[in-house]
Amino acid sequence: MKEAWWKEAVVYQIYPRSFMDSDGDGIGDLKGITSRLDYLKTLGVDVIWLSPVYQSPNDDNGYDISNYRDIMDEFGSMSDFDEMLKEAHDRGIRIVMDLVVNHTSDEHKWFVESRKSKDNPYRDYYIWRNPKEDGSAPNNWGASFGGSAWEYDKNTDMYYLHLFSKKQPDLNWDNPNVRDEVFDMMTWWCEKGIDGFRMDVISMISKTPEMPDGEETDAQGYGSFAPYCIHGPHVHDYLKEMNKKVLSQYDLMTVGETAGVDIEQARKYAGENSHELNMVFQFEHVESDGKYGKWTDERVPLSFLKENLSKWQTQLYENAWNSLYWDNHDQPRAVSRFGDDSSKYRDVSAKMLATLLHMMQGTPYIYQGEELGMTNYPFQSKDQFRDIESIHAYEDWVESGKVKREEFWPCLINKSRDNARTPVQWDDTENAGFTTGTPWIDVNPNYKTVNAKNEVNDPDSVFSYYQQLIALRKTYPIIVYGKYDLILSDDENIFAYTRTLDDRQLLVVCNYTKKNCKLRVPKEYEGADCLISNYNRDNYRGMLELNPYEAFVLFRK
């Protein structure tokens, strides 16, 4: 049987605003992406996941869409898009679009109409409710970016629901017209020749109609919408309908961003026979921490990571497909969060993390700049933030007087989404070669050393290491299809596992710490080939003293 191409692919996420600016306005754009396709070809990735490029007032950097069939002015035009798609395809690179259909912008024409009157044909495209008797919001739900999830609209004396910012009203998926509009729009993009969709918060499109108060309250006193909006009553029906009407008609890759997903739900969304999506993003390994809501300066313990990632590896095996990632545009930089971004260990720990992830089963996602070992930004003041979530968090926690700035600041800068959104560091010239103008967000000051120009031709760089990992995946089917088994489960420093396919086996060893530690290489690996490692070692026999963050992969036939 021919396996699906997306199981063998490696995906690279582009956040267009921060990738490459071609016209000097300080904002990345489509022509900028086209100009760097050869770079991605050199890296060896098969697919680009493009964060939203549609028309948007940019309250949430494009995740608030005002026209799904047009391109954001700052990013260029539809002909720039068509050219980028063609140039990518000419290089054998596919393009997966971000599909943001849990909500639109409040500037989308559907919402502009919807709010006009109670009998407007678009009224029921969104979720409107009457105020309580005292005029307050219909329930106690808090929005993801702070404040109430309801916004009062005095024109019709009703509230509309927004699980994110008030400029992102939630669509009413229970209305068949909404579903048809979305499916038509998806078909329109498929006809253009795009190769798939990453579906933004797709687990939230179906809401429990009664909308009761959330029991669990946050620090602001708002109740949680999660039990009533995540994996809601009809989410699987709607995805099956989408699959039937659109997805099954094309050769696509689909990945659902499914906050709050567990194994059982993942098997429903992305089961081999569920006729919904190809895979989902799970969040357990990136959202297990948190002191003040999501904000924390603590690290995820190795024991948790081992247990958690292994659970996903073994429990989806042969019935659903994993997506593998350390970071994305909503998460801090991988090397700063899970590795060690000091100048001494940045390089080796970035390579160790890459080994750990890329040797697992699933489709790996590389977030722009991760392949260079880009790090978190050393934020010092509130005005350096651009992200709506970070700015609101500072207001809600510090400016409101709830927590002292000294206490909250390390947590904020540790987790801020803006860490991932600083411009890609292309070279050591001004603004890291990202723009000739003033960048919309500051460039990380370490660009003189951490940049693509330094790394692309250096065989020992983080970039070259990613390049090798990607090439290995294409050479050894065991990396794609082998069965995963955790070994040394109680070891406090080493994350190690095997992959088995027929009579072949891989041994993946990662020292997750900066301590030296001991490892005895199993006898059966004597004489095995070392496929990749981040230190040069002559042999891998017997008792080894592992270097800080040392990682290697042995293959035996």
Residue from 330, 340, 341, 347 in contact with ligand TEU (CB under 6 A): 330
Least distance from C-beta 64 to ligand TEU, angstroms? 7
Judged by CB, which is closer to ligand TEU: 257, or 284? Answer: 257
Judged by CB, which is closer to ligand TEU: 94, or 167? Answer: 167
Judged by CB, which is closer to ligand TEU: 203, or 505? Answer: 203
Footprint on residues 389-448 left by ligand TEU (CB under 6 A): 389
Footprint on residues 62-101 left by ligand TEU (CB under 6 A): 63, 100
CB within 8 Å of 383: residues ≥ 6 apart: none
Catalytic, 210? Answer no
Asked if residue 461 lies in contact with residue 469, where contact means CB atoms within 8 angstroms, the answer is no
Least distance from C-beta 544 to ligand TEU, angstroms? 39
Least distance from C-beta 23 to ligand TEU, angstroms? 24
Residue with smallest beta-carbon separation from ligand TEU: 63
Residue from 21, 59, 200, 341 in contact with ligand TEU (CB under 6 A): 200
Least distance from C-beta 390 to ligand TEU, angstroms? 9
**Could you identify the residue written with the tokens 């602001």?**
220
3-state secondary structure 20-81: CCCCCCCCCCHHHHHHCHHHHHHHCCCEEEECCCEECCCCCCCCCCCEEEEECHHHCCHHHH
Q: Which of 186, 198, 225 is nearest to 330 (CA)?
A: 198
Footprint on residues 146-185 left by ligand TEU (CB under 6 A): 164
Give the contact letters, 230-269, x = binds to ligand TEU (CB under 6 A), - = no: ---------------------------x-x----------
Residue 284 near ligand TEU by CB under 6 A = no
Judged by CB, which is closer to ligand TEU: 29, or 389? Answer: 389
Least distance from C-beta 206 to ligand TEU, angstroms? 16
Residue 474 near ligand TEU by CB under 6 A = no
Residue 294 near ligand TEU by CB under 6 A = yes
Least distance from C-beta 258 to ligand TEU, angstroms? 9
Judged by CB, which is closer to ligand TEU: 49, or 555? Answer: 49
CA 254, CA 280: separation in Å to the nearest integer?
Answer: 8
Task: Look up residue 416 and give its two tokens.
Answer: 């801020």
For 430, 498, 517, 548, 550, the CA distances from 513, given in Å and listed in that order, are 35, 20, 9, 6, 9
For 196, 243, 366, 514, 543, the CA distances from 96, given in Å and listed in that order, are 4, 16, 14, 37, 46
474: part of which helix (H) or strand (E)? Answer: helix 462-475
CB within 8 Å of 170: residues ≥ 6 apart: 102, 103, 126, 127, 160, 161, 162, 163, 204, 207
Q: What is the DSSP string of 74-142?
A: GG--HHHHHHHHHHHHHTT-EEEEEE--SB--TTSHHHHHHTT-TT-TTGGGB-EEPPPTTS--SS-BB
Residue from 48, 93, 143, 201 in contact with ligand TEU (CB under 6 A): 201
CB within 8 Å of 27: residues ≥ 6 apart: 17, 21, 74, 75, 435, 440
Q: Which of 124, 108, 205, 202 is nearest to 160 (CA)?
A: 124
Catalytic residue among 46, 106, 200, 418: 200
Residue from 21, 29, 46, 60 in contact with ligand TEU (CB under 6 A): 60
For ligand TEU (CB under 6 A), the number of binding residues is 12
Judged by CB, which is closer to ligand TEU: 105, or 451? Answer: 105
Judged by CB, which is closer to ligand TEU: 268, or 329? Answer: 329
CA 429, CA 423: separation in Å to the nearest integer?
Answer: 13
| DSSP classification of residue 202 | G
Least distance from C-beta 255 to ligand TEU, angstroms? 12
Catalytic residue among 29, 59, 195, 257: 257
Judged by CB, which is closer to ligand TEU: 98, or 340? Answer: 98
Task: Look up residue 536 and give its two tokens.
Answer: 């040069």
Least distance from C-beta 412 to ligand TEU, angstroms? 12
Count of Cβ atoms closer than 10 Å to residue 269 Cβ: 25
Catalytic, 257? Answer yes
Give the contact letters, 110-139, x = binds to ligand TEU (CB under 6 A), - = no: ------------------------------
CA 125, CA 282: separation in Å to the nearest integer?
Answer: 29
Footprint on residues 349-388 left by ligand TEU (CB under 6 A): none
Catalytic residue positions, numbered: 200, 257
Using CB under 6 A, list all residues that contact ligand TEU.
60, 63, 100, 164, 200-201, 257, 259, 294, 329-330, 389
